[in-house]
Structures are given as C-alpha cells and as structure tokens.
Structure 1
C-alpha cells in the first residue's frame, strides 16, 4: 500500500473524425500529481490552467478515488495532492479523463485495491460515459472501444507514426454545448455511411495506411458537420493543412481544439503556418504517448 508518490497521466484526443465516442489517442500533454497520505483531503494547484478548481474533497480526483474504493467496499484514505498540468481545460483535450484516470490510480495504490485493467476501464467509463478519452489516458497509445452500460470493451490499435499539431483557441467550448449541437437521430442512409466510414478508418490505421485514414477522418457524418460552425478556426485550418500536405484535420473531442495529423517531418512547417494564421491561438506540436499513468 502506497503512502506517497508522483503520478503522470497523459492527455488525449477523441473521435479522430468518425470514431465518435469510440476512438481515443494519448499524446504528450500531462497531468502530474504529487500525492501523499494525509489527515484530510487537500489539493494545491501549481499551474494557472488549474486555477478555480476545488481544493477539498469536491475535487474530481477525490470524487473518483472515493467512489472507486467504495465499489470495492473499502474506505479511501484522505490524501494531500499537489497538481501541475499543461492540459488546457474545456478544450477537447481530455483534461477530465486525465483527472479521472488519476483518481482511479490513486485509489488503486493508496487503498490497495489491486484493480484489473478491465475494472479500471469500467470505472472510468462510468464517469465519462464513453471509453475513448479515458481508455487512452488509462492505457496510452490509440484505443478503440464501446460503452455497454455497466461495462466497456476496449482494444489497442497500432499507434500512428505521424506528426500531431494542435490549434488551441483562447475560448472554451463546453462538452454539453457541443453535444447540444448534434441531431437527435440520423436517417438510415446517414447511419450506414457514418458506420462504414468509421470502419474504414480503423482498418486504415490497422494497416498504417495514413492516406486512407486521413480521407476517412475528414468524412465524418456524426458530429463535425454540426460542430464546425462553433469553431471558427476549423475550416480555415483544414484548408491550410491540406495545402501543406497533411493527412487530415479534425475537431479534437468536442472542441474547440483543432487537431492535424501529418506525415513525419511536416509538423514544424504546418505549425509555423498555423501560428502565423491563428495568432490568438496556442499552436502545439505533440507526440503520441504510448504509456498510460506512470508512478515515479
């Protein structure tokens, strides 16, 4: 049973276009938590990105840790935690999933739960409602999964060998608002097309065929046609990225971050063009993160 430690959890993107609520990819932004046993719950935040979050047991990490232990019939001992993060909040970069993964890991270590990977996934899926971001933050790399109510299924896919470039706008887009933009139902024809495009996307990634994967990423039917109007950078970024040889540009999760996948060696050129065109945004060059949470 652990009494102190440092935990590093990766951020993630979800969907990659048509893999709606199913495909996740972990990358090189992180939530870092220094944690130790304490007489009471406390959270200190060293990063400006975390300003305004609760400092007591109402913090998401504490809520998740206590619930995780409760599911095993164990009392979760209080901890004091110091957090640093370079994951922007409410930007479609999996900040909540990283916190949920941290809560599960802290409960597992500090309450000695000995959870299996499947149990971790099921708990995370209950909090998130879908396994894409939480699967990527828990296990790293690229994942494909489905939520089945009380349980979830998840498989790892080959991590894409690509450059990643993210445009992070200065404004937030709440997941609830992004979901409210979606239709309540689809016609049979649209449902068949959306499913087929998503199937092709997974098959292309399995074969490392990034040209085909890119074409499928930009043929989403489920959400991007409805969310595009909420993110003014999306259309111009896709056009510019195409001009510079990118595979695809998509909305990261529910947005507003815009994510481009490009051939190796193209990232720097595309990032420079984005910085010039979207001066009010943060432009990040990222790497795929193959690991989930790591204790140090």
Structure 2
C-alpha cells in the first residue's frame, strides 16, 4: 500500500495558526508486510540517520496500531520524500497525518478525517498544517474544546504556487521564541481584519484582493529577520506577478501565489536573481492524504 501526503503552507500572512493550504509536493510512503521491519529513505532526509533509526512516522504508526488493538506486525517502509525538512512546508504534519491514516488503513478502519485530525492534535497542537495535509485545499481552522474545526475550499487550476526554499532552515520552536509576548490592540485588530479579509478573498476567488489582505503584523517581520534576503525576495515577487507573497509557516520557505499564466515568468525572475534559493512552481493539492493499494 502506498500513501501520498502533500506539503502545506500555513499562516499565509495574517492567519497565524489558523489558515493553511496544501501544495502539489508530496512525500510518498510504501508499506508492505515483512518478516523483519526495515526502513528505506529516498530524497529529503536521506543523510539524516535519525530518520532511519528513530523514524517518527513508524513510531506514530505503531502507536496507533496498538491503540486500535492490532497485533504487532513487521513492515517494510519505503519513504520517497520530496518535502524539505524544517523549511516551513509542513514536513512534520505530513508525517503525523500520514502515519495515523496509514494505521487506519492497515487496521481496516474507515478513514474519518475529523477523528484523524483530533488524534493528530496529540502530536501537533496547531491545526493550520495538519488540516490541509489531511484534506487538501485552502482551510480556515480553529480549536474548540480540544477539537479541530475547519472550513475547506478547493482551489482552481487558474492559480499556482511559486515557492522559494532557502538553504537555511528555521526551527519552529526557536522562531516562536523571537515573537513578541504581547501585541497592541491596534495590531490585533489589524491581523483579525486582514485574516478575515484574506479568507473571504479565497472563498470568493477574488485573487486581486490578496496582496493587501495578506499583510501581517504578528510574526513575519520577526521571523524574516533571521533570513534577511527574504525581504528582497518578497518585494521582487510582488513586483513580478505574485498576487501574495508570505512566509510559509515559520519559514524559511516563501510562498507566492500567482495566476497560472504568470507562473513561468515569476519562477524565472526569482531563479535568476536568487541563485542560492531553490524555486519550485507547484499546483495546489485538493485531495490531502491519498492511498493506493497494490
């Protein structure tokens, strides 16, 4: 059985811990019964021995099988990873929701997305990455009584993402420590109004509104200071066809949304100017976790 889990971009400017979407960039995991458990890794993380020795996917997968009262079994796990690690593209959320979903399928338990999300909260307390990884599309998320609530919007093929991935990683935990402990009422109102406006623009497909709607006063400036070239990258993107340009999660990746017809030009401009930053043009994913049985 093979599972495919998309990368995600969260926050999207003012939607701190509440807004996220899924990208057409995937980690693929093949799981087959075996006499002895084995782990093979290709792509991102190949040189990371921890992924083979203390694999988070396998650990969560086995924990969930035990919770579902499935007897211990051995499997061969083959990971084909395309989602960069610690770059703000939801690599940890892909591991979490992928492992839980895989346990459900192996246990022959129906995939209940609400249940999986709420289990995922045990491993990841912020719903803006785990939700799009599981269900795809654009999502407005919140927590209520330790339960994930979300509203989903499928995204059209008339828009694309052009993402910029610096070589430098940013730890989510460390970057949160750089943020202010308190915000002014003025800044709070600014972000509430802009995140609401941004969500409305997505649901109405008013892409022309995204540039103003995606402005933020809560986190981007403080995090971008850790990789100063991101300020120039954002300005360049907005001047060359990006409808919005925001830090992806806690960074260091930058997410740019543009019309599909403008994607090649924006890609070329960023690639030519920022030689040490990897540029990818991606469709949006509307499916979330998917699987194929052999």
What range is the shorter-chain TM-score in? over 0.9
Residue in 2 aligned with 1:173? 170
2-structure distance, mates of 1:181, 1:104: 32
Residue in 1 aligned with 2:263? 267
Q: Is 1:294 aligned with 2:290? A: yes
- Aligned pair count reads 290
2:275 aligned counterpart, secondary structure:
coil
Q: Is 1:49 aligned with 2:42? A: no
2:60 aligned counterpart, secondary structure:
helix
| Contact 1:158/1:205 (<8 A) preserved | no
Q: Which moved more, 1:67-76 or 1:107-116?
A: 67-76
2-structure distance, mates of 1:203, 1:16: 13
Q: Which runs of 5+ in 1 are unaligned?
A: none
Residue in 2 aligned with 1:192? 189
| Contact 2:154/2:286 (<8 A) preserved | no
Q: Is 1:148 aligned with 2:144? A: yes
| Contact 1:77/1:111 (<8 A) preserved | no
Residue in 2 aligned with 1:139? 135
1:87-124: per-residue Cα shift (whole Å, max 9, x none)?
11111111111111210111101123334111111112
Residue in 1 aligned with 2:245? 249
User: 1:131 Cα shift?
Assistant: 1.1
| Contact 2:198/2:213 (<8 A) preserved | yes
| Contact 1:76/1:107 (<8 A) preserved | no
- Counterparts of residues 72-87 of structure 1 (less than 5 Å): 72-75=68-71, 77-87=73-83
Q: Is 1:208 aligned with 2:208? A: no
1:131-177: per-residue Cα shift (whole Å, max 9, x none)?
11111111111111113353211120242542211111011111112
2:246 aligned counterpart, secondary structure:
strand
Residue in 1 aligned with 2:126? 130
1:67-105: per-residue Cα shift (whole Å, max 9, x none)?
333444545534220111111111111111111121011
| Contact 1:140/1:291 (<8 A) preserved | yes
When normalised by structure 1's length, the TM-score is 0.92
Q: Is 1:9 aligned with 2:29? A: no
| Contact 2:97/2:117 (<8 A) preserved | no
Q: Is 1:32 aligned with 2:63? A: no
| Contact 1:234/1:250 (<8 A) preserved | no
2-structure distance, mates of 1:76, 1:23: 37
When normalised by structure 2's length, the TM-score is 0.92
2-structure distance, mates of 1:130, 1:108: 22
2-structure distance, mates of 1:93, 1:150: 24
